[in-house]
Amino acid sequence: MSSPVRPLIIAIANQKGGVGKTTTAINLAAALAARGLATLLIDLDPQGNASTGLGFDRSCSFVGTYELLVGPRPAPDAIQPTDLTNLFLVAADTDLVGAEIELVEADDRTGRLAKSLAHLPTGQFRVVIIDCPPSLGLLNLNGLVAADSVLVPLQCEFFALEGISQLMRTIDRVKGGPNPRLKLAGIVLTMYDRRNNLTDLVADDARSFFGDKVFATTIPRNIRISEAPSHGKPVLTYDPRSTGAAAYIQLADELIRRENLI
């Protein structure tokens, strides 16, 4: 038997909204869980799309991400099971929207999530995925300070690379300060549409800029991926035979290989 290891903590970040962060967080987490890796998804976005996308009812009373950050509380207090074996969730409580402001005056305001996650028992999870909000504020910084690596979804559209240098500077600042172990896990091209020439241009740009940091797997634009959250399911269980489900399984396998997760 292998010895228990610390989980690999991956923040899914890009300050642009609508680029596929939450979709990637949910579906990559589900695919890793389906591959047998105990996976914890943390919803760090006050919009709570990762929570509702997994069928979690946010109107009930529960301990969530806000409590981890502001309480502060140890992460094990907030872990919920999901319908998928091996997949667990820390949901975004509705108070999370105020955390950004409440933390401004707090001490160690960017290290709260890291501290909370340090309470996860060794060996309980192999991977922790953090779904970051579309900003570079305090919530996002908590994600980057807690993470081992950052995975950046890049939507294949005009201006896709705009803002990426700002994100890279933020990552460098976190690395030079509170979290020296932070690295770039990679760039994932999302909403990839082979029939659109712009897609190829963005993909070429990204690959010439980031080289092999860009995952070989691309996520196609796929209607089943966008329908799944309204059914409270990852695409993997909503439509296992869709191209979207296959793409996220392939992404999980590529990540598993790159990071020696199995």
Q: Which residues bind Mg ion (CB under 5 A)?
A: 21-22, 49
Task: Report, in Å, the least distance between residue 151 CB and Mg ion.
Answer: 13
Stretch that binds ligand ADP, among 18-26, 68-76, 85-93, 141-149 (CB under 6 A): 18-26
Stretch that binds ligand ADP, among 2-10, 20-28, 113-121, 198-206 (CB under 6 A): 20-28
Could you say whether residue 222 binds ligand ADP (CB under 6 A)?
Answer: yes
Could you say whether residue 39 binds ligand ADP (CB under 6 A)?
Answer: no
Among 15, 22, 110, 179, binds ligand ADP (CB under 6 A): 22
Stretch that binds ligand ADP, among 174-182, 195-203, 217-225, 250-258 (CB under 6 A): 217-225
User: What is the x/- site pattern for ligand ADP, positions 162-191, by CB under 6 A?
Assistant: ----------------------------xx
Could you say whether residue 18 binds ligand ADP (CB under 6 A)?
Answer: yes
Place of tokens 């806000």: 66
If the CB atoms of residues 116 and 217 are measured against ligand ADP, the closer one turns out to be 217
Among 10, 11, 23, 160, binds ligand ADP (CB under 6 A): 23
Phi-psi domain of 103 (left: phi exceeds 0; alpha: psi -120 through 50; beta: other): alpha
Could you say whether residue 226 binds ligand ADP (CB under 6 A)?
Answer: yes
> Which partner in ligand ADP, Mg ion, none is near 115 (CB below 5 to 8 A by kind)?
none
Task: Report, in Å, the least distance between residue 134 CB and ligand ADP.
Answer: 5
DSSP string, 167-225: HHHHHHHHHHTT-TT-EEEEEEEEEE-TT-HHHHHHHHHHHHHHGGGEEEEEEE--HHH
How many residues lie near ligand ADP (CB under 6 A)? 17
> Which partner in ligand ADP, Mg ion, none is near 20 (CB below 5 to 8 A by kind)?
ligand ADP
**Residue ranges binding ligand ADP (CB under 6 A):** 17-23, 49, 134, 190-191, 219, 221-222, 225-226, 244
